[in-house]
């Protein structure tokens, strides 16, 4: 049986740090005792216990976000060895050393590996990524969905707003208005929901303007990076068709168009 005891092996970690939102970034190197099965989060916690660099310099504890530790919440996203991913599921044994940790560049850095993902959450507000009910009375059971549709809708619902797809997308940056693949996929999810479809036209209108579908360059980096394997590019292709239909509705008037 493998043991979690220290084997004498030391793990090399290099972290791109940033003290404040507006300060310059700088690299610090750490060397920590190896434990069997450790992930990037446990490595960061080891540094937090004893924040001393590889050359013996006392430093401040590294800041990062985490929550569920089982790849569900999406909070611990960072760039690991040049690839955006979840640090809770990134095992040290599967990484090349030195392990290089950087904050995602798509979002503003708060401190060290912490980033502000408000951009993505604001995009979800823009497309109304929810089923609107006012809660003033009991609506009873919702309409049933065909099993085939329910199965692929479940795949879209796996999104945990981790931001990895937006970090991987070359069309998402602080200088671009593109809302990104995750919010677009949520439009497809809620537009095909029997109750959510009540606001279908409104959601489509939100992604037909600046920052919407037209800004997608179809690089397909998002679908390769998504830790949940969500078919993001399939959703975008479906939305392009729906947006075309909506455009004709707008031009000719919805009374003359059939879904």
Taking alpha carbons only, the member of 24, 62, 28, 25 closest to residue 42 is 62
| DSSP bridge pairs for 26 | 17
Over residues 72-121, the pLDDT tens digits come to 999 999 999 999 999 999 999 999 999 999 999 999 999 999 999 999 99
Taking alpha carbons only, the member of 175, 250, 158, 166 closest to residue 216 is 166
Contact 124, 161 (CB under 8 A): yes
Q: Which residue has the tokens 């005792």?
A: 33
User: Got the DSSP string for 60-75?
Assistant: PPPP---SSSSSSS-T
Phi, psi of 94 (to 5 degrees): -105, 10
Per-residue b/e over 170-207, b at no fewer than 16 CB within 10 Å?
A: ebbeeeeebbbbbbbbbbbbbbbbeebeebbeebbbbb
pTM of the model as a whole: 0.88
Contact 115, 63 (CB under 8 A): no
pLDDT per 10-residue tile (average), the chain, 259 residues: 63 97 96 96 96 96 95 96 97 97 96 97 95 79 86 94 96 93 96 91 95 94 96 95 92 62
Taking alpha carbons only, the member of 108, 125, 126 closest to residue 117 is 108
Structural domains in the chain plus CATH codes: 10-115 (3.10.20.30), 118-256 (1.10.1060.10)
């Amino acid at each position: 049986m493998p043991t979690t005891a220290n084997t004498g092996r030391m793990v090399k970690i290099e972290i791109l740090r940033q003290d404040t939102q507006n300060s310059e970034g700088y690299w610090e190197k750490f060397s920590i005792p190896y434990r069997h099965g450790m992930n990037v989060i446990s490595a960061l916690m080891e540094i937090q216990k004893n924040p001393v660099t590889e050359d013996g310099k006392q430093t401040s504890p590294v800041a990062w976000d985490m929550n569920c530790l089982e790849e569900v919440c999406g909070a611990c996203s960072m760039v690991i060895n040049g690839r955006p991913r979840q640090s809770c599921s990134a095992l040290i044994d599967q990484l090349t050393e030195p392990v290089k940790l950087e904050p995602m560049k798509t979002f503003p850095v708060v401190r060290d590996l912490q980033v502000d993902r408000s951009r993505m959450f604001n995009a979800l507000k823009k497309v109304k990524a929810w089923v609107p009910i006012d809660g003033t009375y009991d609506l009873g059971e919702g309409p049933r969905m065909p099993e085939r549709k329910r199965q692929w809708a479940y795949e879209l619902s796996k999104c945990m707003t981790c931001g990895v797809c937006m970090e991987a997308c070359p069309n998402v940056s602080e200088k671009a208005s593109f809302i990104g693949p995750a919010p677009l996929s949520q439009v497809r999810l809620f537009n095909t929901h029997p109750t959510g479809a009540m606001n279908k036209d409104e959601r489509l209108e939100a992604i037909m303007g600046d920052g919407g579908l037209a800004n997608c360059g179809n690089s397909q980096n998002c679908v390769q990076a998504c830790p949940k394997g969500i078919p993001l590019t399939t959703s975008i292709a479906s939305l392009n068709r729906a947006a075309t239909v909506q455009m004709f509705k707008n031009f000719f008037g919805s009374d003359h168009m059939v879904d």
